[in-house]
Amino acid sequence: HCPSREDLWVREGKILNPEKLFFDEKGSADIQLDCKDSIIAPGFIDVQINGGFGVDFSLATDDFKSGIDLVSQKILSHGVTSFCPTLVTSPPSLYHQVLPQISIRNGGAHGAGILGAHLEGPFISKEKKGAHPEHCLRTFEEGAFQDLLATYGSLDHVRIVTLAPEMKRSSEVIQELTKRGICVSLGHSVANLSQAEEAVRHGATFITHLFNAMLPFHHRDPGIVGLLTSDKIPAGRRVFYGMISDGIHTNPAALRIAHRAHPKGLVLVTDAIAGLGLAPGRHTLGQQVVEIDGLNTYIAGTKTLSGSVATMDTCVRHFQEATGCSVEAALEAASLHPAQLLGIEHKKGTLNYDTDADFLMLNDALYVQATYIAGEQVWRQDALGM
């Protein structure tokens, strides 16, 4: 997955093997672009973003669709070419209103592609609810999976569900979700390691923002964090884990520990909230009021962290700086790994032939200079220093 290719050939939205063009078709390029020593990398994929630019995906508004359009447009400048709009714990009525309005769609000049929703909650632990409203939390009753269906209304446009695996009957729910091709993530949880391992045996493949909203690592029972080095992961399976690399949610040393223990599983996520890109002050996260103070975001009046206001390109730069990893590794954590997590690495997350031509041009300091989706330039840093 090496990003150092001399040139990149694109046709009809896909990355092209130029040999086919030269030898089979005796063709050549119609348009040539000088990238002036930029780094070319696959587009970033954000699998956990709650909103941004004043838009909160966990609020039912009359113009929800234009809200999602605004966010997908604005994140292009941060190198994000596809994403999973994320809903925090909400009442059933909200899921029923909002989920039908989230359509899975390709990206383009209008904005980043939507891969499906990430439903974070409400089947999570009261002790580790973080910024999620306690009165909306739910457990699995008699019907387990039926309870989940009734809560969400439909799973048609759902890509990821975060739940706490220590909940009674979670195993059957994990199996049912996995069977439907939905990625199950463990998070907001007080699970011990064997509960987490059991969830992985039943099909869970992801950990929601590692270290945040879970039991701290303990040497006798390392909890969910222990999955990074567990020897009970089924053969041929990989556990991925999200990290909010904003310099606030996890100390750089914790970021380094995770990265060194399990580099191939690390997925950078922003966990961005409506206040991303806006001035400090009061904003929302679903049912809660959130206070932004610099890069810190708290539930108003508390010191409970509630999402971040860091952009994906900032997270990539911070991650690279904190871990001292290669530029390739930093870029893969925001592109290849999320694509592998979602099982779409044959289409996105690499610069391999025949994959979607979603790619970025970055300078050596990893600032985004231009964003392309399906071979079309959808954003560039213009002379105005935008």
Binding residues for substrate: 131, 212-213, 220, 249, 305-307
Cβ atoms of residues 8 and 34 within 8 Å: no
313 assigned to active site = no
Specify the 3-state DSSP secondary structure of 240. strand
Q: Which amino acid is at 165?
A: P
What gap in Å lies between CA 197 and CA 205, rounded to an integer?
A: 10
Query: How many CB atoms sit inside 10 A of residue 27's CB?
Result: 12
Radius of gyration of the chain (CA): 20
Distance CA 134, CA 184 (A): 22
Question: What is the dihedral sign for C-alpha 364, 367, 369, 375?
Answer: positive
> Catalytic one among 46, 56, 271, 358?
271
Binding residues for Zn(2+): 120, 188, 209
Q: Return d(Cα 276, Cα 292) in angstroms, integer.
A: 9
Residue numbering of the annotated binding site: 120, 131, 188, 209, 212-213, 220, 249, 305-307
For residue 281, the SS3 value is strand
Q: What is the rounded distance in angstroms from the CA atom of residue 327 to the CA atom of residue 2? A: 10
Strand pairing class (359-362; 368-373): antiparallel
Q: Say which amino acid occupies 8.
A: L
Could you list the active site residues? 271
